[in-house]
Structures are given as C-alpha cells and as structure tokens.
Chain A
Amino acid sequence: MFSWDLLANAVVAGILVGGFYAAVSLGVSLTFGLLDVVNIAQPAFVIVGSYAAFVMNSTYGVDPILTGILMTPLFYLLGAIVYRVYYASFERRGEETNRGLVFFFGVLFIVEVSLSLKFGVDYRLVEAPYIGKSIDIAGVGIAFRLLVPCVVGLLMTLALYLFLSRTFFGRAIMAVSQDRLALRLMGANPVRVKTIAFGIGIAAASLAGALLVTIAPVVPSTDRDYIGRVFAITVLGGMGSIGGTLAAAMMLGVAESLMATFFGPSWSLAVSFGILLLALAVRPAGLFGR
C-alpha cells in the first residue's frame, strides 16, 4: 500500500540526514576533492570524534556537539601531523597515488582497531536534552536528533564555503588545487597550505563524529559504512565543489531514506555504493563537476 504520509516522512528524514552527510563529507571534499590526497581514513577519524563526544558525555555530561567544537584544535593538530607524515613519505618522492592509498587504508584499520581495543565492540550512545524529542508538522514528524545535526551540518558547509571563497588561506587552498607550480612561483608554499587544509579536513571530522553519535549509537566498525557514502558524495558532488557536496549529500540521504522505507533498511547501504559505482563508471566528473 502506497502512502503519501510515508513518502513525505521519508523525504523529510532523508533531507535531514543529508545535511549530516554533508558534514561527514566536507573533510573528504577538501582533502581528496581539492588536494588529491586520498584520505580514505576520514571515516575512522569521524568515529574518533564520536567516541570523544561519548566519553565527555558519559563522564562529565557535556553536550556532544559542544565537545565536537571543543575538540577541533586537537583534531586539526592530528590532521596536520598525519599530512606531514604522508608528505614526507610519499608526496615528496612523487609516489603518492597507490602507496598513499594503501597508507591511509592502513591508518583506517589502526584507528578502528585501537578504538575497539579501548572501548570494546558495544554500541555507544550519548544523552542530550534534544535527543528523543520531535515536532509534528502536518503529519510529518521531525526528530530533533536529526534536525540538530542537519542544522549544524548546514552551518559547517556554509562556514567552509565562506572560508574557501572569502579568506586568504581559503583562496590559497583553491589556488593549490588549481596549479601548484604557479602558486610556488608566486612565492607561496603549497605544502604549508595543504597542511592547513588537511588539518581543517580532520577538524571537521571531530564535529561530524559528534553529530553521528547524536543521530545513532556507534561501534568502531561504523566507519566502514561511511567510506562508500563519503566517496559517493564527493565524486557525485564534483570533487571539491562545496555546493555540489551539499546537493549530493541531500540526494543520497533522500535516496537511502526512500529505499529504507519502501524496500527495507537492509538495502539502504547498497544505495550509496551502487550510486558510487554508477557515478564512477558513467560520469567520473560527478553531477556538479568543476
């Protein structure tokens, strides 16, 4: 039986989740989309953000999103260190593609297994006043645990967009992505710019992780589900276009939500990876290519 109510609810939930997906994907859009660093470990850093939020919430009762914001400097530092190691080991020698990919795949596993050694494989969740509440508009339920991450995700997207288009460092990042040699001729240091950009990408994971644990409980291996989503969104969004990332995230959120509502949740994971495969095979430049 087809129900319009069901459809409306699914679409609204999809859009809300899409805003959150945008938050998760921003880091990869920045590092992989713009700077060609295959940061396949990003979802693992997102889960680290979730666990940071969980620890602060369960021991001190701190709001998860506040933790996500407070942790960004630490994550920025972590990102800068990871990029420096990556640069010294691969980029400087000009062997970044395959070995860099293997490097980040290894980092993904190290982070994930370290988390499961420390916290076990139980589902962890956080408590906040807005989790569990919802409002009802014309038969469409809007859960606050989805609405809050969506709003934060949209704000993050806006902030990154303004940063890249208005500030000096943001423009420098765009310049590196366009022409590294020209930047060097202008007297700027592309490695320094890329370190900053990578730090920001990982810092975004801190907040995205806090949003993730607000939406649903996490285990260390949750990162595996997000590899496909994040890369599907980045590729569909046109590799580094911030607006495209948001649009692709919304599309994927709605597609997954419709699939889960009408065919069952066990199919929804295939949506993101299926879309990714199709996008790669048919139009690698993405829907919103630069």
Chain B
Amino acid sequence: MKLGGGILIALGVIAAGVLVADLRVNPYLYFAGYVILQYVVIATAWNILGGYAGYVNFGTPAFFALGAYTAVFLIQWARAPLYVLIIAGGLVSALLGLGIGYLTLRLRGVFFSIATLALSIVLQTFVINWDYVGGSKGVTVIRPSAPLFGSHVKFLFAVMVCLAVLAVTAAWLIERSWVGRGLSALRDNEEAAECMGVPTLRLKLFATTISGFLLGVAGAPFPYYVTYVEPSSAFNLDYAINALAMPMIGGTTTWIGPVIGAVLLGTAQQVATVTISSELNLLIVGVVLVAFVVLAPEGLVGLARRLRGR
C-alpha cells in the first residue's frame, strides 16, 4: 500500500465514522462501538511495544488509568476541553512510557513484564490515597453539553474513531519505516542487533514512549464516557489481559493483527456481556488467549498466510 492510499483510507474511515455517528440507531450501539474502538487503540498501542519490539507489557492499566486520571485532574482543576484532556493524558502516559523504556536497560523478558505489573499496582495505590481525584471512593464527572451530534455518546464515539485511525496510522508508519525493521531486529536478538549498529536503546525508548502515549490517549476520554471514575475500574487488570490477547489473536507482527483481534474479541465480549454475563466474557478472553498462544502463536494473520502459502 502506498502512503497516499493509506492516508485516503484513513480519511475515509474517519468520514464513515462521522456519518455513522450522525445516524439514528439504537444508542447502545455507540456505547458498545466506543469500547471496541477503544480496544483497537489499546491493542495497537500495546503491539508497538509487545509485538514489534517483543517486550510484553502487563502494565496497560497503569497507562490507561494515567490518561484517565490526568483527564479527571484537568476537569477538576480547570474544566479543560476534551482535546486538551486527550493531548495531556497522552503526554503524561508517554512520560511514564519513557520511564519504563529506561527500565529495559536492566530488565528483559519476564522481569520487564513483572515490573510493569508492579508499576500498575503502585500507581493504583497512589491514586487510592489521592483525594483530589476521588481517592478510593471515585469521582463523578459532569459532562459538558455535547458539541456535536446532539448526544455525548455519539460525540465520544466519533472522537474514538479518530483516535483509532491515529493509532493504526502510527503503527502502520512505524512498521513501514526503518524504525519497524530495527524493532523487529532487536526483538529477534537484541545483542546481535546492537552489534550490527541498530540503536537499540533509542528504538526501545521510542517504542515505549509511543506505546505509552497512545494508551494514555485511549484513557483520556474515559471519564466522560463512564462519568464515574474509580481506581478499581480504571486500573482494572482486564485491560492488561485484553491488550495482550487481542494482538495475540490477530497476529503481532503486522498493524492489521491487533485491529482484527480487537474487533473480533471486543465484539464477542460486548455480545457476551449483554446476552450472558460480564464474568463469562473474561473467561472467553482467557480461554481464547491460551488456545491461540498454544495452537496458533502467529495469530489469525499467521494462519491466513499459512493457508495462502499452500
């Protein structure tokens, strides 16, 4: 795909999203659609670090919640508009990403993953004890009147369409450039890549920062979406397993993998939540994740390639 074609498709998706937001259909569809699109952003962001660079991040909730709580803070403090919340949430999470990037100097593989998990819990403890953003009780956020489409959920849906396009475009550009090739070189063998002159530290810092930024961006509209933010929902470990499972199901080596995984698994979860129970949908994620990692570690994209190869 050429660069121009890619941009055209991206703009087309945004236009389609705006058109869909303007339709008069069941409002629940926008609620569900928002969550699925949010997972497209999260899965794509996770994959930039986890799939391209091979550093498995269990700390997705930390980044997501940091974006959400940055937004809560700015709403409490200055009633900042949504675009400010998104940019600020992204930047704060990007800083955290830069921090864990330096952690990769000492920690690899399993130890990196456990450290990110620890990071998430430590941050949660701080938020629980920080009363300005609601502490453990949580905080209620009052939405301003919707600037477009007459309904806030529709508006946030359209915003999430744009953010999803942004995230996927970023992943697509990284994959096509020397950065993507450098990242996959260090994923396969970090020492060998370093010896061949790949600037591994700079690339890792880039990957963790971008990944953190996009995760924060995904979390920033969250307070307006749920209107009630509490630490145990914002720091939910469900985000960690979903962020992991979606790219694994789709395929971690290409930009389309996380998108496929997020759409399939996100939709399945929404359907299961409505028709059966919200606990069962986590069971589905766990079972599907284990099944894929055991039976089809290359994901659906890998399966499709193998079929076409025959």
CB pair B286–A106 under 8 Å, yes or no, is yes
CB pair B115–A110 under 8 Å, yes or no, is no
**Stretch from A71-79, A92-100, A156-164, A179-187 that touches the partner:** A92-100
Residues of chain A within 8 A (CB-CB) of B125 are: 266-267, 269-270, 273
Residues of A contacting B: mostly: helix
CA distance A210 to B237 in the complex (A): 25
Most buried by B among A110, A269, A284: A110
- CB contacts under 8 Å to A, within B105-126, are 106-107, 109-111, 113-115, 117-119, 121-122, 125-126
Q: Which 8 A-B pairs have the closest CB atoms?
A: A109-B286, A270-B125, A106-B290, A110-B286, A273-B118, A106-B289, A113-B283, A273-B121
Is A7 engaged at the interface, CB distance under 8 Å to the other chain? no
Is A152 engaged at the interface, CB distance under 8 Å to the other chain? no
Q: How many A-B residue pairs have CB under 8 A?
A: 113
CB pair A85–B294 under 8 Å, yes or no, is yes
Q: A89-B294, A101-B56, A113-B282 are in contact. Are A277 and B113 (CB under 8 A)?
A: no
Residues of A within 8 A of B (CB): 32, 38, 40, 85, 89, 95, 97-99, 101-103, 105-110, 113-114, 116-117, 224, 227-228, 231-232, 235, 264, 266-267, 269-270, 273-274, 276-277, 280-281, 284
CB pair A280–B114 under 8 Å, yes or no, is yes
Residues of B within 8 A of A (CB): 54, 56, 58, 103, 106-107, 109-111, 113-115, 117-119, 121-122, 125-126, 128-129, 136, 237, 240-241, 244-245, 248, 277, 279-280, 282-283, 285-287, 289-290, 293-294, 297
CB pair B290–A103 under 8 Å, yes or no, is yes
CB pair A228–B128 under 8 Å, yes or no, is no
CA distance A276 to B279 in the complex (A): 30
Residues of chain B within 8 A (CB-CB) of A101 are: 56, 109-110, 113
CA distance A38 to B119 in the complex (A): 18
B134 to chain A: closest CB distance in Å?
14
